Structure 1
Amino acid sequence: MKNAIRWAGLAAFLLCGAAQAEDWAKPLFDGFDGSDFSPAGGLYYRENFEQSAGTVEFQKAVKLSGAGALKLSVKALCPTDDDGCSERAEIWEKTALRVPYDQGVWYGFAVKFGDPIPIDDHRYLIAQWKREIIPGAEGDFSPFLALRLRNGKLFATVETNYVAPDASAQTEDSSSCCGGKMQLSPQHASAQTDEAGCPEGAAPVWFRPETNQMRALVATDSAWTAEDNDLYHGCTKAIRVIDHGNKLPLPSSGWIDFEVFTKPGPDGTGRIEIFANDKPVVTVEGHIGHADHGLGNNQYFKFGPYRAGHSDDWTLYYDHFRRSPHCADVLSEGSCPLP
């Protein structure tokens, strides 16, 4: 009898795992045309303290296509001098539909910045991809891919575990690099660079060995200048960026349709593709994501305004969400770089 129960439990576990594996591979779509999230999109608004700063509105006045779009806004909730407190209005994928961390998947969504567009030097995110964190895990793990705003400019970053720099990432004498804004120990100094940027094959990076992380700057809009690089004065060959000659659109340009492929690989096998309005922006290869103890088996995606404490309201509009293992479900015909 005990063996029968044991085998029945194992069968149920395997069936559940197979069902979840099948669920993540199903294409998801939501045009936000109704009064709630579509069952076909697998999305929801998570309720917690930080999210109480946000509001969600299924509205019809501002849209890219169809009958409507999401209006996501955040208001003041945190003290403006408390950088550890966050204000969010983020939309999450349902847990049962999360993609395994070792799988590649395409995401698509359109975003429009509401007026006024923030132009201050502050922490703003409009979308982020993360690895699951098991409750009780030690560490503060940044998103392995994030679309961010700073000084009114749009940029993208890729995060991974810290990889010690090598001397081949050096450009010239960099002992006076960074204007004192970034401090590295002497053994890391060879990876610093000046305003001229990194050598071929190396990506600009913000080394953070104290948290076992480093953050690479992988894409920017056309308004980005050398002065905006004050955090990214290191160089790494652990993350390779292939520039396709197209900048990220300016936040003021109207609706931006992002098409993104994510396949983490903390061991150096990762790959990311970023498209905007059907134009290739960058391909990112190499060390992508985290492999620390206490992290889960899946990746997940969140979109919506996220910032540290602020006194002003901030609004973004989102439309045309889709997710699929198949590029053709997300990008227009003929644009797919991968099968």
Structure 2
Amino acid sequence: MRRHLAMTVLALIWPLSALAQDDPRTLRLVDGFDGADFSAEGGLYYRENSEQSAGSVLFQSTVRDAGAGALQLSVRPHCPPGSEGCSERAEIWEKTPLRVPYDEGVWYGFAMRFDDRPPTDDHRYVVAQWKREIGPEAEGDFSPFLALRMRSGQVFVTVETNYQPPPAAAPAVVAGRCPAGWTPVWLRPETAQMRYLVAVDAAWTPEVTPEFDHCTDALVLTGGTATLPHAAPDWHDYAFYTRPGPNGGGEIRILVDGAPLLTARGRIGHDDTGLGRNQYFKFGPYRDAGEGEWTMFYDSFRRGPDCRSILPEAACAGQE
């Protein structure tokens, strides 16, 4: 079933027109990672910098979800022992001219698989993230407005926005959860940001994410009761709709293996001086300084202006 979904998706959006259109919002991008390099139709590249020198990218055919190949991304120790503010990355970026405006909605899809031995330590790991461009006049370190993360072997999704004090009548967090209409949040006034916990995997326990110790109604979650796939060596297909709205009106939708997981609506993203006009997506392993090599696999990347441009029509019912 999983393989059928990925192959159907690629068939739906192939062949693609050349990336010569003027408006990135209308583009349909795809890369099945079946060749020896990124496809011209995918608009992706491996960014070269100091942090990324800790990583490696391999187009291989041994571990794949659909088609002839898949992308293997790995990070190895690179930061000096005890260093702070140093990270190790092997992230794939969208090409800058193809980025979508920050206040526009866009759909992303990709298949992802953890290695046979995913990390299980209490450490920060990120496998996909969405950010706003940061200009030279911006002050601060702005976290991704949407991120697919892992800690202690547990997968979870976070959403970030500007700091908003919780209402005085906000309920308390109980066993890591908030009542309907409220969302667990990590208040970070020292960074002028706050981070919501919006989805977890079936093995999650409150001890994995203890910093989410308040409830807020600045973001409201609706949808099914499904959970994220666990960090295991199995392929799963992820689809995300992103439309930031730092002052309200933002929306994120998540589907896994073609099934709706949740919809998040409310304050999403940042609206600070010096931030750029576009959003952008990166995927691949990212961590603070760590030990040993960590590997992830990715396949069937898609981006499009609507659900049907990245998923089969049956999966898009109610998503338009």
| TM > 0.5 | yes
**Contact residue 43 and residue 94 of structure 1 kept, 8 A:** yes
**Contact residue 79 and residue 310 of structure 1 kept, 8 A:** no
**Deviation of 1:20 (Å):** 7.4
Uncovered stretches (5+) of structure 1, i.e. residues with no partner: 1-18, 172-192
Deviations 1:272-305 (A, max 9, x none): 0011111111111000000000100000000000
Partner of 2:315, secondary structure, is coil
**Contact residue 169 and residue 198 of structure 1 kept, 8 A:** no
Instruction: Tell me which of 284, 289, 303 is aligned to 1:323.
Output: 303
1:215 is aligned to 2:215: no
**Contact residue 129 and residue 145 of structure 1 kept, 8 A:** yes
| Distance in 1, Cα, partners of 2:230 & 2:167 | 34
**Contact residue 31 and residue 69 of structure 1 kept, 8 A:** yes
What amino acid is aligned across from residue 254 of structure 1 in structure 2? D
| Distance in 2, Cα, partners of 1:168 & 1:201 | 13
| Distance in 1, Cα, partners of 2:252 & 2:240 | 7
| Distance in 2, Cα, partners of 1:131 & 1:72 | 23
**Contact residue 132 and residue 300 of structure 1 kept, 8 A:** yes
Uncovered stretches (5+) of structure 2, i.e. residues with no partner: 1-19
Which structure would you say has the larger Rg? 1
Equivalent in the alignment of 2:204:
224
Aligned residues: 300
| Distance in 2, Cα, partners of 1:263 & 1:162 | 19
Partner of 1:119, secondary structure, is coil
**Deviation of 1:167 (Å):** 2.0
**Deviation of 1:50 (Å):** 0.1
1:8-27 mapped onto 2 (5 Å cutoff): 22-27=23-28
TM-score (norm 1): 0.86
Equivalent in the alignment of 1:9:
none
**Contact residue 176 and residue 212 of structure 2 kept, 8 A:** no
**Deviation of 1:158 (Å):** 0.2
Equivalent in the alignment of 2:83:
82
TM-score (norm 2): 0.91
| Distance in 2, Cα, partners of 1:83 & 1:110 | 32
Equivalent in the alignment of 1:271:
251
**Contact residue 169 and residue 199 of structure 1 kept, 8 A:** no
| Distance in 1, Cα, partners of 2:72 & 2:309 | 24
| Larger helix share, 1 or 2 | 1
Partner of 1:304, secondary structure, is strand
Equivalent in the alignment of 1:141:
142
What amino acid is aligned across from residue 197 of structure 2 in structure 1? L
CA RMSD of aligned residues (A): 1.4
1:129 is aligned to 2:110: no
Q: Which runs of 4 or more aligned residues in structure 1 lie more than 2 Å from their structure 2 counterparts after TM superposition?
A: 79-83, 193-197
Partner of 1:322, secondary structure, is strand
Partner of 1:117, secondary structure, is coil
| Distance in 2, Cα, partners of 1:21 & 1:121 | 45
Identity value in percent: 57
Deviations 1:185-234 (A, max 9, x none): xxxxxxxx343632321100000011110000000000001222311011
| Distance in 2, Cα, partners of 1:71 & 1:197 | 35
Equivalent in the alignment of 1:311:
291
| Distance in 2, Cα, partners of 1:289 & 1:195 | 27
Partner of 2:52, secondary structure, is helix
Higher mean C-alpha displacement, 299-308 vs 195-204: 195-204
